[in-house]
Amino acid sequence: MPNNIEQLRKHEIANRVTIEKDGGLPKITVTTSNTAAEIYLHGAHVTRFRKNSEPPLLFVSAKSHFDTAHSIRGGVPIIFPWFGDRADVGLHGFARLTEWELTKTSEKPDGSVQLHFSLPENISAKNGWPTAKVDFTVTVHDKLTMELTVTNPLKEDFTFEDCLHTYFEVGEIENISIAGLKGISYLDKTENFARKVESGDAFKISSETDRVFLNAPGTVEIRDEKLRRKILIEKSGSNSTVVWNPWITKAKAMPDFGDMEFKHMVCVESGNVAENKITLAPGASATLKVVLSSQPI
Ligand code: BG6
């Protein structure tokens, strides 16, 4: 049941939360004393987070679709209940293609603003999946905090993959380095899932990169020499980290992505994928939590 804009407006908070339609999709704008964020109900998709004086933290393609048929290209697509390609059912699950329900908004005494979303219950069955309860909480403050909680209401085990597929804005892809993954095994999707081990304290990106790091629960740091900032990706309940940049050939093949936009983005995705997929016993739940922050260098 699509969200009615008039009903959604009951969740507005003066000077903090406004809700409007943008290109046909309901969009929430959040403002705190020194940060701003935007979240679309379509996919419960965070597309913007910005500290007053800094460049945006998140990348969104100028060629992104903003309609119900496509995932938004950029920001933070929610990947659930599968990651990657599945025969006949497409990439990365149906959560990013679904209009979520906004269930609550609140302003906290510390000045943060919190929004709660739920995945509509009928959407799993429509896609031939068991019906799990899926909730997403976004907290906007000096940092951006996102929590995806999956609860198994069934009488049998429920197995799924999840991922907060975050696109970061960077000054120049060849001038960034990514730290925090030393010694960790990854599947190299550019070489037919070859299993490799990251050996450096930090690595750079200078060609197509698509690495699924397994058993990787730690904090990742993106150091951006051009924008003179470092981004911290702190997480819990996440055993996988995916690092992706399509580079030029793949970029040109993507209709919703500019040919040269690969220079100004990198995805560092936090989740539980491949052999890190999660199995919940009846009644159990799991929370994937990601906290994004940045500071000047
Ligand atoms: C990454 C995958 O997570 O997402 C890549 O590892 C994939 O293989 C990328 O190309 C983008 O996927 P999509 O479906 O949003 O184009």
Looking at residue 136, its pLDDT comes to: 99
Which residue's alpha carbon is at the smallest distance from atom 13 of ligand 1?
91
Looking at residue 90, its pLDDT comes to: 79
Which atom of ligand 1 is the closest one to the Cα of 84?
A: 2
- C-alpha to C-alpha distance for 133 and 119, rounded to whole angstroms: 7
Is residue 1 predicted with pLDDT exceeding 60? no
Looking at residue 167, its pLDDT comes to: 99
Looking at residue 71, its pLDDT comes to: 97
pLDDT digits over 54-97, tens only?
Answer: 999 999 999 999 999 999 999 999 999 999 988 677 799 999 99
H-only helix segments in the chain: 5-8, 122-126, 247-253
Torsion of CA 196, 198, 203, 209, to 10 degrees: 30
211, 209, 221: which is closest to 245 by C-alpha? 209
Looking at residue 56, its pLDDT comes to: 98
- For residue 41, the 8-state DSSP code is T
Looking at residue 277, its pLDDT comes to: 98
Mean pLDDT of the 247-268 span: 98
Q: How far is the CA of 151 from the centre of ligand 1 (A)?
A: 26
What does the mean pLDDT of the chain come to?
96
Q: Per CATH, the architecture of 5-296 is what?
A: Distorted Sandwich (2.70)
pLDDT band for 2, please (50, 70, 90 cuts).
Answer: low
Which atom of ligand 1 is the closest one to the Cα of 73?
A: 15
Q: How far is the CA of 84 from the centre of ligand 1 (A)?
A: 7
pLDDT digits over 102-146, tens only?
Answer: 999 999 999 999 999 999 999 999 999 999 999 999 999 999 999
Q: Which residues are catalytic?
A: 165, 269
Ligand 1 binding site (Cβ under 6 Å of any ligand atom): 71, 91-92, 165, 189, 210, 242, 244, 269
Q: How far is the CA of 230 from the centre of ligand 1 (A)?
A: 24
Asked if residues 245 and 224 have their Cβ atoms less than 8 Å apart, the reply is no
H-only helix segments in 25-175: 122-126
Is residue 169 predicted with pLDDT exceeding 60? yes
Residue with tokens 């393609």: 61
Domain ranges of the chain: 5-296
